[in-house]
Amino acid sequence: MKFGTKTIHAGVHPDPTTGAIMTPIYQTSTYVQRSPGDHKGYEYSRTHNPTRTQLQDALAALDNGQHGLAFASGMAATDCIVKLLKPGDEVISTNDLYGGSYRIFTKVYEPLGIKFHFVPMHDMASVREKVNERTKLIWVETPTNPLLNVIDIAAAAAVAKEAGALLVVDNTFSTPYLQTPLDLGADLVVYSLTKYMGGHSDVVMGAIVLKDDELHERLRFLQNACGGTPGPQDCFLVLRGLKTLHIRMQRHCENGRAIAEYLQAHPKVGKVYWPGFEQHPNHEVAAKQMRDFGGMISFVLDGDRKEDAIAVLEKLELFALAESLGGVESLCGHPATMTHASIPAEERLKAGLSDSLIRLSVGIEDVEDLIEDLKQAIG
């Protein structure tokens, strides 16, 4: 089945009792048993819920995996994966990681005895340098947020395999429309479904997709034991969002290209970060592993002054100033004070994230209107 057909049909089936074509919201916590232990596969909704099951199956199909696991947020999914580790284990990740992932790693798991190395992962030699017998996870996010560096997933998979570590790819920015990490050798794909997958800025959810049965059993155990599971209404919203993933992503990419090119040609704009540019340092890797380049763009203004960036953000009208990304509507943000404020200033600057950086999540509006808005704000 091709991707656009899968977004609509994979994992879901008409309701067996009524024929309802859309997956019902099974708003129930428990299920009646005929006799103790004699039930229809559902006992308690933290463990299983039919709406969640269909979403999990749809997610597995979209990423060419065998199993999907849905969580109450992207962070709950991340948390579940890190719980596979023990004190003394080590993780290698990228130095311009999503701020919330950096926070859970350093503030929650480091004090519990797990060691994290943050390296510029678009240079795979920096990963190899940190590999040792205690390395258990290699955690990739690509393109990175907000600097849009691209990490070579197949190369990271080779390093992980040699080290006997699991490769995790946070695929939130790309979605399976742009890249399917399991096909490139990743062991686990993790999502914030809150972003492009849900796509409508109306739900917070997360997921893990994988192939391996044994690893799935361990994660499913943790999902139920720790209980970070989503409610059925949220699962329904993501199922609904997924049905248009392919056409939304196509438009995000088209609009992203037009805006990246507009910004790059603008005399008052400095560096523009977008992996679709041929001169982007990782463009070759991006072109190899991605189907297109997405709608996330970061840029700085000429002169690189924070006050100028704030002024532009205040003037933008169609681009709403808000955290998050990946919805149908365009958003803008200031990573240094918003999404990445939990990363110390020194670490931020080391990773190249300047205080004047503006991040755009380009929506699926008519691009002429978006460009008009940028024109009036930048001047």
Helix (H), strand (E) at residue 102: helix 99-103
196 binds ligand PLP (CB under 6 A): no
The tokens for 73 are 């947020």
The DSSP symbol for 30 reads: B
C-beta closer to ligand PLP: residue 45 or 145 = 145
Q: Which of 74, 198, 275, 276 binds ligand PLP (CB under 6 A)?
A: 74
Nearer to ligand PLP, 255 or 361 (CB): 361
Q: How near is the Cβ of 77 to ligand PLP at its closest, in Å?
A: 8
Question: What is the set of active-site residues?
Answer: 46, 98, 170, 195
Candidate ranges 69-77, 107-115, 180-188, 223-231; the one touching ligand PLP (CB under 6 A): 69-77
Cβ(51)–Cβ(26) under 8 Å?
yes
Instruction: Report the site for ligand PLP in 108-147 (rule: CB under 6 A).
Output: 141, 145
If one asks whether residue 150 binds ligand PLP (CB under 6 A), the answer comes out as no
Min. distance of Cβ 210 from ligand PLP in angstroms? 17
Residues 209-228 that bind ligand PLP (CB under 6 A): none
Map residue 38 onto helix, strand or coil.
Answer: strand
The yes or no reply on residue 364 touching ligand PLP (CB under 6 A) is no
- How far is Cα 95 from Cα 347, in angstroms, rounded to an integer? 8
Give the residue among 120, 162, 114, 115 at the shortest CA–CA distance from 141: 120
What sign has the CA pseudo-torsion 207, 204, 311, 369? positive
3 state SS of 51? helix
Q: Shortest approach of ligand PLP to residue 36 CB, angstroms?
A: 38
Question: CB under 6 A: which stretch of 12-20, 73-81, 102-110, 301-309 binds ligand PLP?
Answer: 73-81
Tokens encoding 143 = 């393109």
Quote the tokens at residue 105: 């790693």
Amino acid, single-letter form, for residue 271: K
314: alpha, beta or left? (left if phi > 0; alpha if psi -120 to 50): alpha
Q: How far is the CB of 206 from ligand PLP (least distance, A)?
A: 5
Give me the amino acid identity at 357. Answer: L
Residue 185: name the closest of 59, 294, 281, 64 by CA.
Answer: 64
| 361 is a contact residue toward ligand PLP (CB under 6 A) | no
| Per CB under 6 A, 172 contacts ligand PLP | yes
Distance CA 97, CA 118 (A): 8
Residue number with CB closer to ligand PLP (170 or 373) = 170
Residues binding ligand PLP: what is the number (CB under 6 A)? Answer: 16
Gap between the Cα atoms of 70 and 64, Å rounded = 16
Using the contact rule CB under 6 A, the part of the chain among 88-96, 190-198, 295-303, 306-314 near ligand PLP is 190-198
The 4-43 site mask, x for binding ligand PLP (CB under 6 A), equals ----------------------------------------
Interface segment toward ligand PLP; rule CB under 6 A; list 96-104, 149-157, 180-188, 252-260: 96-104
Under rule CB under 6 A, residue 73 binds ligand PLP: yes
Cα 336 versus chain centre, distance: 19
| Residue 204 near ligand PLP by CB under 6 A | yes
SS3 (DSSP) at 60: helix
Closest to ligand PLP by CB, 81 or 374: 81
How many angstroms separate the CA atoms of 353 and 357, rounded?
7
Amino acid at 92: I
Q: Is 192 in the site for ligand PLP (CB under 6 A)?
A: yes
Radius of gyration of the chain (CA): 21
Residues at the interface with ligand PLP (CB under 6 A)? 73-75, 98, 100-101, 141, 145, 170, 172-173, 192, 194-195, 204, 206
